[in-house]
Every structure is written in C-alpha cells, then in structure tokens.
Amino acid sequence: MSKVTADLVILFICWTSLHLVAAKEFSQFTLDFLEIVTGDFDNRQQIESGGTDHAFIQFRIVPANMPLLQPDTVWYDEWAADGKLLHMQIGIISELPRDNILIDLYNFTEPSFYKPGEFNTSSLAGLKRGDLKRHNCSAVFRRLNKDVYVGYWPDCRSLVRGHHPNYADTFTCQDVSIIIPPTVEETFAQPPYIFQRKDTRYRFTGLPDTYGNFCGTKN
C-alpha cells in the first residue's frame, strides 16, 4: 500500500469517528488548506497535450457570504464536465482532531439552470435553511506534507450500493490531481485528471492574520 493510499484510509476512518472542533479554533493547517483550495480550475492543459481520453472538467471553489450560516466558514463549489454543470454545492468547513478537515456538503439548486461560471455567488446571501438539501454527504481532507492536502470528495448526486462514490483529490499550491470514480457521469480515465488554477485565488474573510500568506509565489 502506498503512503498516499494509507493516509487516505486513515483519513476515512477519522472522518467517521472524530468529534468536531469549533470553526473559531481553526489551526494553521486548516487556514493553509482554505488558501490552497480556492480558485477556478480546469484540465485544459492536460486535454491540449493530446493522447488522452479525459473529459474537459471545470470546477471552482469560492468563499460564500451566507448570513444564515454565520459564524461558520462556508464556500460555494461547482463542477462541470464538457460544458455541462453537474453539481452546485455549499460546503461548511469544520476542523477535526488529528489534522483532519471536514466539509459538509449541501445542494441548493438545480445545476441544469446554469452554465459553468455563470452563477452569481452574491445571491447565496438570500438563501433560507429550507433551501439547503442535505444528503449525508461530506468531504474530508488532511495535510499529507507541507503544501499537499489529500482527501475524499463524495459524489452527492448518486449512490452505489448505498454509498456515495468518492473522488480522490490531491490539492497543492500549484495544481490539483483528482481520480474520478468509474461509477459517475464524468469520463473515468487513467492517469488522474490534472487541473491548473486560472489566475484567481479567492480569499475568505473573518479569519486570523496568519491566513492567506502560505502559498506566496507558489501560485
């Protein structure tokens, strides 16, 4: 078993058994994670290199201003394949012991109403609790080393034998690697999907001064 695989197994076990730490007590490893994950990403470079069966995937993770969920730290994320928006979610970030990070995921609208990148996140401020659809679906990440975070991100749209299929994600300051499970709508391919951030790294507000200075020139 590789070190990355072993870490992911430990991560999954921790996800199911640990108690949450209040958001206001975020440790530096969580603050660094929040800096690394935001942005607009795609695998255009991988597609244009040729010789690949990968679909063209776009995704974005953006801090969300939602008075309904304050004081929680919240993001908006979306995921599109070949120009079709497949999911739009709200993620509520919590910290777990042993350097693990939990993101509870909620659906709130029908993705087919929008094109990739079209949704205006400012409209999230008007959402009510009844607008959020919970599917017992959470992502979990941990720091593997200095600027590498690995985790499972479930496909909350579908169930296979009673479980949500999991994407295996690796985030760094430079790029993102994702293994897409073969049971979802997107094209499964080997090697993993490789994504680059497109210029912007979005910033969360209301976090300590030690947030936002980690990646620096690694962008």
| Sign of the Cα pseudo-torsion (25, 27, 30, 35, in order) | positive
pLDDT at 1: 53
Separation between Cα atoms, residue 200 and residue 194, nearest integer Å: 18
> Phi and psi dihedrals of 107, rounded to 5?
-85, 155
Nearest by Cα to 105 from 92, 121, 120, 94: 92
Low-confidence winner among 54-58, 107-111, 115-119 (lowest mean pLDDT): 107-111
In the chain, where are the structural domains located? 3-201
Give the amino acid at 134: R
SS (H, E, C) 12-54: HHHHHHCCCECHHHCCHHHHHHHHHHCEEEECHHHHHCCCCCC
Q: What is the pLDDT of residues 144-173, one digit of tens each?
A: 988 899 999 998 888 888 888 899 999 999
Q: What percent of the chain has pLDDT over 90?
A: 45
- What residues contact 211, with CB distance under 8 A and at least 6 apart? 31, 34, 35, 204
Low-confidence winner among 34-38, 60-64, 139-143, 162-166 (lowest mean pLDDT): 162-166
Band (pLDDT 50/70/90 cuts) for residue 12 is very low
What is the mean predicted confidence (pLDDT) over 121-146? 88
Name the most confidently modeled range: 163-167, 192-196, 198-202: 192-196
Q: What is the pTM of this model?
A: 0.83
**Inter-residue contact 121 to 130 (CB < 8 Å):** no
What is the mean predicted confidence (pLDDT) over 190-197? 92
C-alpha distances (whole Å) from 30 to each of 23, 25, 40, 49, 116 are 10, 10, 20, 34, 27
- CATH code matching the domain that covers 3-201, chosen among 3.40.50.720, 3.50.50.60, 1.20.1250.20, 2.40.128.590: 2.40.128.590
CB atoms within 10 A of CB 204: 19
| Secondary structure (3-state) at 146 | coil
How many residues would you count in the chain?
A: 219
Q: What is the pLDDT of residues 14-34, one digit of tens each?
A: 443 333 333 456 899 999 999
Q: Residue 8 belongs to what H/E stretch? A: helix 3-17
Place of tokens 């499964």: 188
The greatest distance separating any two alpha carbons of the chain, rounded to the nearest whole angstrom, comes to: 47
Band (pLDDT 50/70/90 cuts) for residue 10 is very low
